[in-house]
Structure 1
Amino acid sequence: MKVSIVFLFAFLFLTVQVQAGKNVSIPETELQKLAQHVDNLVKRDSVNEAIIKLLKDSLDGKGHTVAKAQTPKVSTVKITVKERGGITQDTSLFLFAIFAFAAGFVSIITPCVFPMVPMTVSFFTNTSSSKKESVRKAIIYGLSIVTIYTLIGVVIAKINGPEFANFLSTHWFPNVLFTLIFLVFALSFFGLFEITLPNNFINKVDKQSDKGGYVGIFFMAFTIVLVSFSCTGPIVSTILLSAAGGEIVKPIIGMVAYSSAFALPFTLFALFPNWLKSLPKSGGWLNTVKVSLGFIELALALKFLSIADQVMHWNILNRNTFLLIWILIFFSLGLYLLGVIKFSEHDKGSIGWPRRSLAILSILFAGYLGTGIAGSPLKKLSGYLPPLEDYTTATDRICGTPKYADFLHLPLGLQGYFDYKEALACAKQQGKPLFIDFTGHGCVNCREMERNVWADPAVLKHLNEDFVMVALYVDDRTELPENEWYTSKKDGKVKKSIGKQNHDFQNTRFNFLAQPFYVILDPNTEMELAQPITYEPSIEAYIDFLEEGKANYKKLYK
């Protein structure tokens, strides 16, 4: 190019001189210098052209010294990401609401509440001038119960922010505390002592119910809530603790569902007083319900201890130990229902077929748990049990031994990573999309997805062959070296542990906090290849998600 410029300059100079009518006379020495300069420029440009040609050939794959870079054809390829109806956990919330609603009905048949139903309904009918007034009072009474419990849910929701929920569900201290609380509840149900609220407080509320009118009815409802606390307190606490690690709205949904079921009998029996005649008489069977709930509280206590054990890697409660304790609990429940084990004078007497049927079911359930010790995956309970130790130490399908593989594992023999940057580098090296699993040791839905969806042969084949996997545990408490700490741009807090950093990454990068949460990325651009999804029990829908991510990756690099 420079040679052309020199010739052009010389040509223009001579042209101007000729057009000006001048006699062009250039000394011979000057012409020789110009010729030499032009010759040097030609030689230098030839070398440059050779170098440029060599580089071009290398980049085109003709050379051997420069590797071909895999870059997406962004300008020519457009990928389409399907809309999947938003990222929600509606199914999980619906099931939780059903659980809370059922718990409300269970509360009705406890010794503290059941005798109050006919007494309360009789009060409405005896103090009302007409059936219409009686029904109105019963409806207001029921709505008052719903309002009181819903207010409790609102208070819990107020303090149940993302950070607090994560703390409750992942830190060892609250989970050990919950274990102790459920043990106390169980002992209370077994009759060792009663958990009650201060009598002075109950009496003050009860006096307010004498005022009459709607205010009096509200305080009557408040009184039944307080008086029944020794029976309903553990049940309500179970619902609230189950909701504490979820969405902000979850405690409210739980309390609305629970209180609706709890209040429903009072309203229905006021509408149809004759139904009271069909109610069974109070007696020993109410105590049987209470003691049975005590066994269930024991089982729940073990669940919280298991979460703390997994998060902190104490390794004191592995799967088989957990199953053995649960087998003992439910087999003992069966023996109690058959009358072999007795807790009080109420347990003496004849045993009817309903109690015998429940005893058989409890013993059969203990037997079902026994198959888990023999190696059965127990898919229906996968979210509540410690994970199966079916992981592999092989690394033939990935790029080396992963960080943290000595204490973190993938299920079902899958190979992958537990550090995002490490997985990203391997995905680039292998030319595969990156599959991110935001998970947690205490995540019930995560375990259910692994056992009921990932275990499907078609899903497992995709995960094994088409992706580089990384499992990012958001609740692991392992503290990192100080040089790996950083301050979050999201909340300004220093993130010191594996779980804190993974949770912050999920929140910062994807603006989503719940688990499980699945993402497929192009490792070169870190672009999403499919809309991320959360809990998805449909195997067909999950395969569609995986195949979409795989297909869009191929479009970029075909």
Structure 2
Amino acid sequence: MKFWYWILFLVLAPLYSLANPVDDKHIQVELLSEVSSVKAGEPFWVGLRLEPDDHWHTYWKNPGDSGAAPKVKWTLPEGTQAGDIFWPAPHRIPVSHLVNLGYDGEVLLPIQISPPASLASDQFNMTANLSWLVCKEICIPGSAELKLDLPVSANSPEKDSRWTKKFAKTRGQLPETLPTASQLFQTDNGFRLQIDIPQQLQLNKGDQLWYFPVDNGLIEHATAQPWARDAGKLSIQLESSPYFTELQTSYEGLLLLNEKAYQLSTPATVATPEQIAQFTPIDTTVTPEKPATTLWLIGLLAFAGGLLLNLMPCVLPVLSLKALSLVQHGQSQKAQQRMHGLSYTVGVVLSFVLIAGVLLALRAGGEQIGWGFQLQSPLFIALLVYLLFALGLSLSGLFNVGSSWMGFGDSLSQKSGYTGSFFTGVLAVLVASPCTAPFMGTALGYAITQSASTALIIFALLGLGMALPFLLLSFIPGWLRFLPKPGAWMETFKQLMAFPLYATALWLLWVLGRQVGVNGMTAALGGLILLTLALWLISGNTNRWRKIGFIAALLASLGMLTLPVFKPTSVNLSNSSSTATTNGVAIEAYSPQKLQTLRDQQKPVFVNLTADWCITCLVNEQVALNQPEVQQVFKDNGITYLKGDWTNRDDAITRLLNEHDRSGVPLYLFYAAGKQAEVLPQILTPDLVINALKTK
């Protein structure tokens, strides 16, 4: 029996020398030869075969938003030359908010080997030291030493029949050279790629068209690439990468049309105003369609986020106003209760829709902004301080602006009461803008990437969720019996509820001071004194002189906001080289370049995107991030802490938010060494952060 084993070994041994697969974690790699022997001086083809497991992928030479391309180092007989890898056409691989470029199935990377004119040995020995990255939700680096020994023959080698189909299939996937002129123009809002359309390039409406540059720092891969054709030219609008620094003279890339790839070598230049004026108009509002189920899911997240927004600390002062309203309306007619609930709901929903409209309009104009953008304006912050302080003074009894504004009292007409409920909803949305509730970030990030109609629907659902508790109480009278009956206690409760408003105004003054410095904060305090004087003059019995004094003091108060000191002058941490320290842990300023450098060095990084006006951010830092046990994990695991301050506008931070489908802060990202970002929840606890940061 052993005799047959030896016979089988002698038959299979030559074949084994031609095929040496290596099984690694979630991938099989192999070095193949298209020929069964080698002739001196005659080039031949080999191929690096990579076959990842189902739902895993490898990368093209430009991996896209993350990842790394396979690399190979050769050990060959003396005088032998190995050519570059010929890359088959990749495809887009969406992974969460990112888009990678690569292969999610078996791929063969062909390379031409050129042996010298004479070979001293009768055996041609090759060794390929291959390294790769294979990814799913996580990425696993790997490497292998692949050896292949081929006999040397005096005759032209024959092709190995086992691999003929694989090499033929790969050649069919290699991009064709597009024999036509092309030009890449840099503009203020990205790039415009123009290509003369050749005959073999048939373009039809609805075709999938993508441009993949070889340079990884040129464009954003996850954004849409709207295109148009006119007068024999194809024009593609491209968004620049946040890592783009300097325009090169030319770029290599692929044009992918319905899975068919064409190779381009494109000169690049900065577009002149005259050239821009001649560009073919492109509808840049077109975005890739997403499944209807996704929209329903996002709508549900928006609704849930709005509902949870009522529990955020920045909304608590306005909840006091609604509490007073509920106490009074608990004894009114059912129809009145429902109208108050509907008025409040309309105020909330319309406010969200209005903010969405402004945000979308500014983004369409090229502005890098997101949720809470209005709080990046010192003037808006100052006006909000005035409003909250004035409402607090009213609750304290200094003056009466109309009890319907507070949602209590029945001395005014029904119309005034409903108007009061409406504006209570408006105020609730204004003071809610510093907060981002759970689920809300995902919904808003999705909304700002969609069409205007879809975005407005999502914002409206967010508002409906926020208004739901008050609306339910107004439509279910039975629940109102749990509220106390009106009485003298209401006046005391009303005055007590003024203090959360004063506290909120104080916090916003601190935010203002961080934005514009002590001079701006002092000017705002002076404006509050004048506002208080104006309200005192108009309270009680008024005569002509008190009315004149009221107008003068009010105008002077508003005039304080026109002073130059309300222009942002503070230096954000993200724009400076300063380093803060908390419990011995250095907190460095975030920048895209700093993050990329640390990731290239395979170092773990934690990124905290925050703002002084974001209460959720400040609470998370005090409750979780600044705790000694959390800081100790940073030290023990060598994690670099980067902090991006979005208090004032910062386009680099906005781009990072957009990359993770978020439109506002907070955003917490943890990059384990060599891995993609893990997005932490928006509400943090020490245990949650510790579990996320501990290296696996």
TM range, smaller chain: 0.3 to 0.5
By relative contact order (CA 8 Å, sep 6+), the higher-ranking structure is 1
Comparing both structures, which one devotes a greater share of its residues to helix? 1
In the superposition, the TM-score normalised over structure 2's length comes to 0.39
Comparing both structures, which one devotes a greater share of its residues to strand? 2
In the superposition, the TM-score normalised over structure 1's length comes to 0.47
